[in-house]
Chains A and B, each alone.
Chain A
Amino acid sequence: MTEGQGEPMLSDRELFEQIVDILGPLANVGSKITADTDLVADLSLDSLKIMEFLLEIEDRFDISVPINVLSDIRTVRDVIFQLQRLLAEAD
Protein backbone atom coordinates (compact mmCIF):
# COMPACT_ATOMS: atom_id res chain seq x y z
CA MET A 1 0.00 0.00 0.00
CA THR A 2 1.35 3.39 -0.99
CA GLU A 3 1.18 6.19 1.55
CA GLY A 4 0.01 9.58 0.31
CA GLN A 5 -0.10 12.87 2.20
CA GLY A 6 -3.70 12.33 3.32
CA GLU A 7 -5.63 9.07 3.35
CA PRO A 8 -3.59 5.94 2.62
CA MET A 9 -3.84 4.83 -1.01
CA LEU A 10 -6.03 1.83 -1.66
CA SER A 11 -4.32 -1.38 -2.77
CA ASP A 12 -5.00 -2.94 -6.17
CA ARG A 13 -7.06 -5.63 -4.44
CA GLU A 14 -9.20 -3.07 -2.59
CA LEU A 15 -9.73 -1.07 -5.78
CA PHE A 16 -10.64 -4.24 -7.67
CA GLU A 17 -13.20 -5.25 -5.05
CA GLN A 18 -14.82 -1.84 -5.05
CA ILE A 19 -14.98 -1.78 -8.85
CA VAL A 20 -16.58 -5.22 -8.92
CA ASP A 21 -19.06 -3.99 -6.34
CA ILE A 22 -20.00 -1.04 -8.58
CA LEU A 23 -20.12 -3.16 -11.72
CA GLY A 24 -22.38 -5.83 -10.22
CA PRO A 25 -25.75 -4.08 -10.53
CA LEU A 26 -24.80 -2.38 -13.81
CA ALA A 27 -23.59 -5.53 -15.57
CA ASN A 28 -26.31 -7.83 -14.27
CA VAL A 29 -24.38 -10.97 -15.16
CA GLY A 30 -23.62 -14.08 -13.20
CA SER A 31 -20.15 -14.59 -14.64
CA LYS A 32 -17.11 -13.95 -12.49
CA ILE A 33 -15.43 -10.58 -12.98
CA THR A 34 -11.64 -10.64 -13.19
CA ALA A 35 -9.04 -7.99 -13.94
CA ASP A 36 -9.12 -9.07 -17.58
CA THR A 37 -12.88 -8.79 -17.91
CA ASP A 38 -13.75 -6.58 -20.89
CA LEU A 39 -16.45 -4.06 -19.96
CA VAL A 40 -18.13 -4.16 -23.37
CA ALA A 41 -17.33 -7.60 -24.78
CA ASP A 42 -17.78 -9.59 -21.55
CA LEU A 43 -20.23 -7.50 -19.54
CA SER A 44 -22.20 -6.05 -22.47
CA LEU A 45 -22.13 -2.59 -20.93
CA ASP A 46 -23.50 -0.10 -23.47
CA SER A 47 -22.31 3.49 -23.66
CA LEU A 48 -24.94 4.73 -21.21
CA LYS A 49 -24.02 2.12 -18.60
CA ILE A 50 -20.34 2.90 -18.94
CA MET A 51 -21.13 6.58 -18.32
CA GLU A 52 -23.16 5.57 -15.26
CA PHE A 53 -20.21 3.43 -14.12
CA LEU A 54 -17.96 6.51 -14.20
CA LEU A 55 -20.46 8.55 -12.19
CA GLU A 56 -20.58 5.80 -9.56
CA ILE A 57 -16.78 5.64 -9.41
CA GLU A 58 -16.60 9.41 -8.91
CA ASP A 59 -18.99 9.26 -5.98
CA ARG A 60 -17.51 6.12 -4.42
CA PHE A 61 -13.96 7.52 -4.40
CA ASP A 62 -14.90 11.21 -4.20
CA ILE A 63 -12.79 12.14 -7.21
CA SER A 64 -13.31 13.70 -10.63
CA VAL A 65 -13.15 11.19 -13.47
CA PRO A 66 -13.23 12.87 -16.89
CA ILE A 67 -14.97 10.81 -19.55
CA ASN A 68 -11.83 11.42 -21.63
CA VAL A 69 -10.31 8.40 -19.83
CA LEU A 70 -12.73 6.10 -21.62
CA SER A 71 -10.47 5.91 -24.66
CA ASP A 72 -7.89 4.22 -22.42
CA ILE A 73 -10.28 1.82 -20.72
CA ARG A 74 -11.26 -1.59 -22.04
CA THR A 75 -10.85 -3.98 -19.12
CA VAL A 76 -11.25 -3.85 -15.34
CA ARG A 77 -7.44 -3.71 -15.12
CA ASP A 78 -7.50 -0.51 -17.21
CA VAL A 79 -10.04 0.97 -14.81
CA ILE A 80 -7.80 0.18 -11.83
CA PHE A 81 -4.81 1.77 -13.58
CA GLN A 82 -6.69 4.97 -14.40
CA LEU A 83 -8.19 5.10 -10.93
CA GLN A 84 -4.78 4.81 -9.30
CA ARG A 85 -3.52 7.64 -11.46
CA LEU A 86 -6.47 9.90 -10.68
CA LEU A 87 -6.34 9.13 -6.96
CA ALA A 88 -2.64 9.96 -6.91
CA GLU A 89 -3.29 13.24 -8.72
CA ALA A 90 -6.07 14.12 -6.30
CA ASP A 91 -3.99 13.31 -3.22
Chain B
Amino acid sequence: MARKRKSKEVPEAELPMTPMIDVVFQLLIYFIFTIKPLDVLAHLDVFRPGPEQRTERLEVPPNLVRIGIFYDGFTVNDKPVAESQLESLIRRLAELDRKQTVLIMCSAASPHEFLVRVLNLCAKYQLTNLSVISVN
Protein backbone atom coordinates (compact mmCIF):
# COMPACT_ATOMS: atom_id res chain seq x y z
CA MET B 1 0.00 0.00 0.00
CA ALA B 2 2.78 2.37 0.99
CA ARG B 3 4.69 1.62 -2.19
CA LYS B 4 1.61 2.36 -4.29
CA ARG B 5 1.20 5.84 -2.72
CA LYS B 6 4.83 6.68 -3.34
CA SER B 7 4.56 5.92 -7.02
CA LYS B 8 1.53 8.22 -7.38
CA GLU B 9 3.23 11.29 -5.76
CA VAL B 10 3.49 14.22 -8.14
CA PRO B 11 7.01 15.58 -8.43
CA GLU B 12 7.12 19.31 -7.67
CA ALA B 13 7.60 21.58 -10.64
CA GLU B 14 10.77 23.56 -10.03
CA LEU B 15 11.30 27.04 -11.26
CA PRO B 16 14.76 28.50 -10.82
CA MET B 17 14.05 31.68 -8.87
CA THR B 18 17.65 32.81 -8.43
CA PRO B 19 18.06 34.69 -11.76
CA MET B 20 14.72 36.41 -11.31
CA ILE B 21 15.61 37.55 -7.81
CA ASP B 22 18.99 38.74 -9.14
CA VAL B 23 17.31 40.87 -11.78
CA VAL B 24 14.76 42.25 -9.33
CA PHE B 25 17.52 43.28 -6.95
CA GLN B 26 19.45 44.90 -9.78
CA LEU B 27 16.38 46.94 -10.66
CA LEU B 28 15.82 47.83 -7.04
CA ILE B 29 19.40 49.07 -6.67
CA TYR B 30 19.06 51.01 -9.93
CA PHE B 31 15.94 52.79 -8.66
CA ILE B 32 17.39 53.52 -5.24
CA PHE B 33 20.34 55.30 -6.84
CA THR B 34 18.61 57.05 -9.71
CA ILE B 35 15.22 58.21 -8.46
CA LYS B 36 15.31 61.82 -7.39
CA PRO B 37 12.38 62.94 -5.24
CA LEU B 38 10.35 65.67 -6.88
CA ASP B 39 9.72 69.10 -5.40
CA VAL B 40 6.24 69.77 -4.04
CA LEU B 41 4.65 72.40 -6.25
CA ALA B 42 2.22 75.11 -5.28
CA HIS B 43 -0.20 76.96 -7.51
CA LEU B 44 -0.89 80.62 -6.81
CA ASP B 45 -4.21 81.75 -8.29
CA VAL B 46 -4.64 85.25 -9.66
CA PHE B 47 -7.18 87.10 -11.70
CA ARG B 48 -5.90 88.84 -14.78
CA PRO B 49 -8.34 91.58 -15.71
CA GLY B 50 -8.87 92.24 -19.39
CA PRO B 51 -8.18 95.75 -20.76
CA GLU B 52 -11.81 96.92 -20.36
CA GLN B 53 -12.11 95.42 -16.85
CA ARG B 54 -8.76 96.91 -15.92
CA THR B 55 -9.88 100.51 -16.52
CA GLU B 56 -13.20 99.85 -14.77
CA ARG B 57 -11.43 98.53 -11.74
CA LEU B 58 -8.98 101.38 -11.59
CA GLU B 59 -11.72 103.98 -11.84
CA VAL B 60 -13.82 102.56 -9.02
CA PRO B 61 -11.55 101.28 -6.32
CA PRO B 62 -13.80 100.03 -3.49
CA ASN B 63 -11.55 99.04 -0.65
CA LEU B 64 -8.65 98.44 -2.97
CA VAL B 65 -5.09 97.84 -1.92
CA ARG B 66 -2.37 98.42 -4.45
CA ILE B 67 0.91 96.59 -4.16
CA GLY B 68 3.56 97.74 -6.58
CA ILE B 69 6.40 95.45 -7.58
CA PHE B 70 9.52 97.00 -9.05
CA TYR B 71 12.92 95.61 -9.94
CA ASP B 72 14.37 97.10 -6.76
CA GLY B 73 11.53 96.84 -4.26
CA PHE B 74 7.88 97.08 -3.35
CA THR B 75 5.28 99.74 -2.69
CA VAL B 76 1.98 99.52 -0.82
CA ASN B 77 -0.58 102.14 -1.86
CA ASP B 78 2.24 103.97 -3.65
CA LYS B 79 4.43 104.18 -0.55
CA PRO B 80 7.76 102.39 -0.76
CA VAL B 81 8.13 99.62 1.79
CA ALA B 82 11.07 97.51 2.75
CA GLU B 83 10.77 93.81 2.08
CA SER B 84 10.78 93.12 5.81
CA GLN B 85 7.78 95.44 6.30
CA LEU B 86 5.79 93.93 3.47
CA GLU B 87 4.69 90.85 5.40
CA SER B 88 3.47 92.80 8.42
CA LEU B 89 1.56 95.21 6.14
CA ILE B 90 -0.12 92.38 4.25
CA ARG B 91 -0.97 90.69 7.54
CA ARG B 92 -2.60 93.87 8.82
CA LEU B 93 -4.54 94.27 5.58
CA ALA B 94 -5.79 90.71 5.86
CA GLU B 95 -6.87 91.29 9.45
CA LEU B 96 -9.04 94.20 8.29
CA ASP B 97 -10.75 92.38 5.44
CA ARG B 98 -9.77 89.14 3.74
CA LYS B 99 -12.18 89.72 0.88
CA GLN B 100 -10.73 93.02 -0.20
CA THR B 101 -9.28 93.33 -3.66
CA VAL B 102 -5.53 93.41 -3.84
CA LEU B 103 -4.27 94.92 -7.04
CA ILE B 104 -0.75 93.80 -7.73
CA MET B 105 1.00 96.06 -10.19
CA CYS B 106 4.19 94.68 -11.66
CA SER B 107 6.71 96.73 -13.54
CA ALA B 108 8.17 95.27 -16.72
CA ALA B 109 11.63 94.92 -15.25
CA SER B 110 10.62 93.28 -11.99
CA PRO B 111 11.71 89.68 -11.57
CA HIS B 112 8.97 87.06 -11.47
CA GLU B 113 10.30 85.94 -8.09
CA PHE B 114 9.02 89.19 -6.51
CA LEU B 115 5.51 88.56 -7.79
CA VAL B 116 5.59 85.02 -6.40
CA ARG B 117 6.83 86.39 -3.09
CA VAL B 118 3.87 88.77 -2.83
CA LEU B 119 1.41 86.06 -3.93
CA ASN B 120 2.88 83.74 -1.34
CA LEU B 121 2.30 86.32 1.41
CA CYS B 122 -1.27 86.85 0.20
CA ALA B 123 -1.81 83.08 0.29
CA LYS B 124 -0.31 82.95 3.77
CA TYR B 125 -2.80 85.52 5.09
CA GLN B 126 -5.69 84.15 3.01
CA LEU B 127 -6.17 87.13 0.76
CA THR B 128 -7.88 85.54 -2.21
CA ASN B 129 -9.15 88.39 -4.31
CA LEU B 130 -5.95 89.12 -6.22
CA SER B 131 -5.60 90.86 -9.54
CA VAL B 132 -2.34 91.24 -11.39
CA ILE B 133 -1.78 94.05 -13.84
CA SER B 134 1.38 95.16 -15.58
CA VAL B 135 2.68 98.69 -15.60
CA ASN B 136 5.53 100.21 -17.56
Does A pair with B? no
